[in-house]
Amino acid sequence: MNNIYPANSANITLASEVIRKGGLVSFPTETVYGLGADVYNTQAVASIFEAKNRPHFDPLISHIADIDFLPTYAQTDDRVLALAKHFCPGPLTFILNRTDNNPAIDLACSGLNKIAVRLPDNPIALDLIRQSGVPIVAPSANKFKSVSPTTAQHVRESLGDKVNMILDGGPCRVGVESTIIDVTQKQIVLLRAGGTAVEEIESFLGEKILISDGDPNKPSAPGQLLKHYAPKKSLRINAVHKKENEFLIGFGDVKDADLNLSPSGDLKEAASNLFAYMRLADEQANDKTLAMSPIPTTGLGLAINDRIKRASYK
């Protein structure tokens, strides 16, 4: 059964009906494809964990379509609203204290008193959320710990018929997940580097952000487990030279790369290609192991390095 549908208006309406009836819909965002369900439908949220084989202690992100909804869903202040108005819609997730104490969303929050929320920068995602009439909880639409999907076909290959509908909106523009910041304390803490550069947030706020890798045994946000985003083959990172029997994913002017995230050294291009190229490398490397060239740690490079560090964890 082919469950991939063009993301036209009729199919988005159909997908919103699936969400309201407790089904699962995969949809494109600017970052990666999400696996969505009604946050208030505990059985539907449980189906996400089951489909992904994801542990229940790993919280999920709620996707909303309007900034005005944020104060009704979580505790906000002037700083949070200023950040939201400046960076949203976009690849930025806020960790906030919950105001919605509906026990139905406990599963999505992994029982925590905090909630992860973001506004995706994709018209298909926003239309789906608005037509569904509820926040849509949506981790990446792939098997847990495997490479995140940036096309509808990636979702199909990873999850198959466990998804009721896959809305095909083409390749994702950013290609790495959202940046996650905890704004519940006086000083903001980065919990996951992502599509919004830390330097941009610091410049807007005029203050430094603390950086935390979190506790992999008790994550407070998605993407904090030691092994995550992993290809099937082993991956060596910061590879200056290709070893014998290695398939090299390069960055910048690398002569012997089998694939190159960005020959010109453009971090945006590299981020958008990262997950797709890790999948390609898995397919093309045959009996070789994988290696990745060094990536700068500025801008989007921080997010890329976070993903490949977790992808290479043994």
Any idea what the CATH number is for the domain that residue 307 is in?
3.40.50.11030
Residues 116 and 201 in one domain: yes
Write down the pTM of the prediction: 0.90
Residues 180 and 39 in one domain: yes
User: Is residue 223 a part of any domain in this protein?
Assistant: no
Residues 168 and 244 in one domain: no
User: Is residue 218 a part of any domain in this protein?
Assistant: no
Tell me if residue 121 falls in helix, strand or coil. coil
**Band of the pLDDT at 203, cuts 50, 70, 90?**
very high
Tell me which residue range forms the domain holding 287: 235-311
Query: How many domains does the chain contain in total?
Result: 2
Q: pLDDT digits over 205-259, tens only?
A: 999 999 886 666 666 667 666 566 789 999 999 999 999 999 999 999 999 999 9
User: Is residue 107 a part of any domain in this protein?
Assistant: yes
DSSP 8-state assignment for residue 183: -
CA distances from 155 to 147, 148, 162, 252 (A): 10, 9, 10, 29
Alpha helices in the chain (DSSP H): 9-20, 42-52, 70-73, 78-87, 123-132, 152-159, 198-205, 267-284, 301-311
The C-alpha atoms of residue 251 and residue 62 are separated, in whole angstroms, by 33
Residues 253 and 190 in one domain: no
pLDDT at 224 (0 to 100): 60
* Ramachandran class of 39: left when φ > 0, alpha when ψ lies in -120 to 50, beta otherwise: alpha
Vertex 45: Cα angle to 42 and 51 (nearest 5): 140
What's the whole-number mean pLDDT along residues 166-170? 98
